[in-house]
C-alpha cells in the first residue's frame, strides 16, 4: 500500500485540530511514522505553519469562494489551508505547490474537488498581493494577526501597550535553546563543543545555563546529548529552577512535573537536594523518569503518580522546604511553540483553569513547611491566571507573602515587575511568555 503524501497528512492533521480531536504534539509524530522519511521535516513545517496562520488562511479562502464548503467537505477546506500556506509563506516553487496539493484530492477520494482546488490556488497565485492587502484592510484583527477574536481581546485588555508586539512575536518561529547540565560541564565548555561541530550558540544574559542556537538542529546532532550534558528548554522555563534556588539537603516538590525538564534542572543546580516529581498521568510520569535518567540524576529524584489536589494519596506528611507549582494554564505565552492552542483553546477554558490553579494553590500550600517557599509559575500572559491569581491567594492566605527573587537571577533586567509577581512577555530577551511569583510561608505557620 502506498504511503500517504505529506500534504495529505498535513491536511488530516489540520482537520483533526479543527475537530479538537488531538494536538500537534501527538498528531505530527503519529503521521510522521506513516509518510516517507524525507518528508518528515516538511510535515512539521506544514502542520505547525498552517495551525499558526489558520485564521488568516480562512480569511483568504473566504475571499476566494462565494460561500463556505459543506461540513462534510471540511477536509477539502483543510487542504486549501495547506495549499495557500505554502503559496503565502514558503519558498517552494508555486507550480509544484499547486500540482502536489491538487493531487491530494484523489487521496481524499473527492475527484470533484480537483478542479475546484486548482482554480482557487491559481487565483490566489495570480492575485496574492491584492487579496493579502484586502484581508489586512477589511478582515479585522483576527485575520491580520491570525488569532482567535476572544484571545485578541483579552490580550488587548490585559496588555494594551504591548498587545501588537505580543501578537507579532507569537507568530514567529521560536529559537532553539539549550540548558547545559552544570553537573557535567560549564556552559562555555559546551559552547566550544558546539562550535567544533559548526553549531553556533549565544550565551544568555538572563540565566547562566542557557545557550540559544543560531539555527535549530536535531538533538541527535548535539554533542553528548544522550550522555545528559544538555537539554532543550526555553530560557524563560530555565528561570524556574534558578528562582526556586534549591539548597543542600532540602526536600523539594515539583508538583506538575512532566515531562521533567524543570525537575532535572533543580537536580542539576543542587546535587544534595532530594526531589519528588509528581504527575497524575502514567505516560507522562514515564517521561519524567526517562529524562532524569538521561541526565544521570535518578538518585535524587523520586517520580510519583498522583493528583496534586489530593495529596493524601501520595504525600508522606513531611513538609517540603520548597514547592514548584508550574500550574496548568492556557499556554498563551508559548503559542509560537504550540500554535495549535489557537485552535484548541476556548474562552470557557480560562475560567476552568483559573479554578484548577486556585485549588492547587490552596491544596499545596499546607505542604510547605513554615519558613519554606512556593514558586508559582505559568506559561500564560493572562492576568487572571497570574497576578490576579496571586492577589486572590494572598488575600485569603495570611501566612503567605511575596518574596524577592534571588539576586543571582537579577543581574540582567528581565520581565515586567507587577505588584504580585513578574511577567515575561513573549519574545522579550528571546524568551517565551512566563509568569513567576515566589511566595514564602511565615515561620510561625503550621504544617
Average pLDDT over residues 414-438: 97
Could you tell me where the DSSP H helices lie in 19-39? Answer: 24-32
Residue 423 has pLDDT above 90, yes or no: yes
pLDDT value of position 447: 42
DSSP string, 102-136: HHHHHHTT-TTHHHHHHHHHHHHHHHHHHHHHHHH
> Cβ distance 52 to 24 under 8 Å?
no
Residue 345 has pLDDT above 90, yes or no: yes
Would you please indicate which residues are annotated as catalytic (active-site) residues?
A: 379
Residue 207 has pLDDT above 90, yes or no: yes
pLDDT, tens digit, 9 for 90 and up, residues 226-257: 999 999 999 999 999 999 999 999 999 999 99
Average pLDDT over residues 263-286: 94
Average pLDDT over residues 130-149: 87
Distance CA 4, CA 35 (A): 6
The total number of residues written for the chain in this structure:
447
Average pLDDT, the chain: 95
CA-nearest of 227, 287, 226 to 262 is 287
Q: How many Cα atoms sit within 13 Å of 106 on the Cβ side?
A: 8
Average pLDDT over residues 2-26: 95
Distance CA 267, CA 252 (A): 10
Distance CA 87, CA 145 (A): 18
CA-nearest of 21, 19, 52, 17 to 147 is 52
**312 contact partners, CB below 8 Å, separation of at least 6:** none
Distance CA 30, CA 46 (A): 15
Distance CA 92, CA 43 (A): 14
Hunting for cell 495549499 — which residue is that? Answer: 83
pLDDT value of position 192: 98
Largest Cα separation within the chain, whole Å, is 75
With bands split at pLDDT 50, 70 and 90, how would you rate the model's confidence at 47? very high
Paired sense of beta strands 210-213 and 230-232, if any: unpaired
User: Using alpha carbons only, what angle is made at residue 27 by residues 24 and 32, rounded to the nearest 5 degrees?
Assistant: 115
Distance CA 193, CA 190 (A): 5
Which value, in Å, is the radius of gyration of the alpha carbons in the chain?
Answer: 24
Phi–psi pair at 425, nearest 5 degrees: -90, 145
pLDDT value of position 407: 83
Residue 269 has pLDDT above 60, yes or no: yes
> Cβ distance 328 to 353 under 8 Å?
yes
Residue 445 has pLDDT above 60, yes or no: no
Distance CA 166, CA 181 (A): 31
CA-nearest of 287, 263, 285, 293 to 276 is 263
pLDDT, tens digit, 9 for 90 and up, residues 392-413: 999 999 999 999 999 888 767 8
**97 contact partners, CB below 8 Å, separation of at least 6:** 83, 86, 87, 90, 121
Average pLDDT over residues 371-385: 98
Residue 273 has pLDDT above 50, yes or no: yes
Measured distance between the N- and C-terminal CA atoms of the chain, rounded to whole angstroms: 63
Q: Which residue segments constitute the domains of the chain, with CATH numbers given?
A: 6-143 (1.10.940.10), 177-232 (3.30.70.1170), 235-441 (3.40.50.150)
Average pLDDT over residues 68-73: 93
Distance CA 139, CA 133 (A): 10
pLDDT value of position 370: 97
Hunting for cell 527573587 — which residue is that? Answer: 405
List C-alpha distances in Å: 409 to 231, 234, 238, 243, 366: 20, 15, 11, 7, 27
With bands split at pLDDT 50, 70 and 90, how would you rate the model's confidence at 25? very high
With bands split at pLDDT 50, 70 and 90, how would you rate the model's confidence at 143? confident
CA-nearest of 85, 43, 97, 44 to 61 is 85
**389 contact partners, CB below 8 Å, separation of at least 6:** 354, 357, 358, 361, 376
pLDDT value of position 446: 47
List C-alpha distances in Å: 41 to 29, 169, 302: 11, 23, 36
Amino acid at each position: 500500500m502506498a504511503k500517504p503524501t505529506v500534504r495529505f497528512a498535513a491536511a488530516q492533521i489540520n482537520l483533526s485540530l479543527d475537530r479538537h480531536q488531538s494536538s500537534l504534539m501527538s498528531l505530527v509524530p503519529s503521521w510522521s511514522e506513516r509518510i516517507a522519511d524525507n518528508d518528515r521535516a516538511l510535515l512539521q513545517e506544514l502542520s505547525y505553519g498552517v495551525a499558526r496562520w489558520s485564521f488568516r488562511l480562512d480569511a483568504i479562502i473566504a475571499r476566494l469562494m462565494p460561500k463556505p464548503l459543506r461540513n462534510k467537505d471540511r477536509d477539502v477546506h483543510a487542504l486549501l489551508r495547506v495549499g495557500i500556506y505554502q503559496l503565502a509563506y514558503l519558498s517552494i516553487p508555486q507550480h509544484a505547490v499547486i500540482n502536489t496539493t491538487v493531487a491530494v484530492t484523489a487521496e481524499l477520494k473527492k475527484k470533484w474537488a480537483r478542479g475546484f482546488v486548482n482554480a482557487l490556488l491559481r487565483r490566489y497565485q495570480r492575485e496574492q498581493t491584492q487579496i493579502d492587502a484586502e484581508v489586512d484592510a477589511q478582515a479585522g484583527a483576527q485575520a491580520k494577526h491570525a488569532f482567535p477574536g476572544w484571545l485578541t481581546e483579552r490580550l488587548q485588555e490585559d496588555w494594551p501597550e504591548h498587545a501588537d508586539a505580543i501578537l507579532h512575536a507569537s507568530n514567529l518561529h521560536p529559537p532553539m535553546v539549550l540548558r547545559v547540565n552544570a553537573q557535567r560541564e560549564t556552559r562555555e565548555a559546551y559552547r566550544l563543543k558546539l562550535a567544533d561541530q559548526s553549531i553556533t550558540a549565544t550565551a544568555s544574559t538572563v540565566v547562566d545555563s542557557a545557550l540559544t542556537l543560531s539555527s535549530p538542529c536535531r538533538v541527535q546532532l548535539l554533542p553528548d546529548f544522550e550522555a545528559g550534558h544538555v537539554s532543550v528548554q526555553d530560557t524563560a522555563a530555565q528561570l524556574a529552577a534558578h528562582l526556586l534556588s534549591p539548597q543542600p539537603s532540602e526536600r523539594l516538590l515539583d508538583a506538575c512535573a512532566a515531562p521533567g525538564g524543570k525537575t532535572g534542572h533543580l537536580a542539576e543546580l543542587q546535587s544534595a537536594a532530594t526531589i519528588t516529581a509528581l504527575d497524575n498521568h502514567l505516560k507522562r510520569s514515564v517521561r519524567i523518569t526517562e529524562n532524569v535518567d538521561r541526565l544521570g540524576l535518578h538518585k535524587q529524584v523520586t517520580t510519583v503518580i498522583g493528583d496534586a489536589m489530593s495529596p493524601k494519596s501520595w504525600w508522606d506528611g513531611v513538609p517540603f522546604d520548597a514547592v514548584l507549582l508550574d500550574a496548568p494554564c492556557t499556554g498563551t505565552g508559548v503559542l509560537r511553540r504550540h500554535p495549535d492552542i489557537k485552535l484548541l483553546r476556548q474562552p470557557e477554558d480560562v475560567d476552568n483553569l483559573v479554578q484548577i490553579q486556585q485549588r492547587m494553590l490552596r491544596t499545596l500550600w499546607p505542604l510547605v513547611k513554615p519558613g519554606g517557599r512556593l514558586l508559582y509559575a505559568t506559561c500564560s500572559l493572562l492576568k487572571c491566571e497570574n497576578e490576579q491569581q496571586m492577589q486572590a491567594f494572598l488575600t485569603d492566605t495570611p501566612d503567605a507573602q511575596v518574596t524577592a527573587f534571588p539576586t543571582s537571577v537579577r543581574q540582567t533586567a528581565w520581565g515586567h515587575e507587577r505588584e504580585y509577581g513578574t511577567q515575561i512577555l513573549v519574545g522579550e530577551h528571546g524568551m517565551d511568555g512566563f509568569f513567576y511569583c515566589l511566595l514564602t510561608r511565615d515561620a510561625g505557620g503550621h504544617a
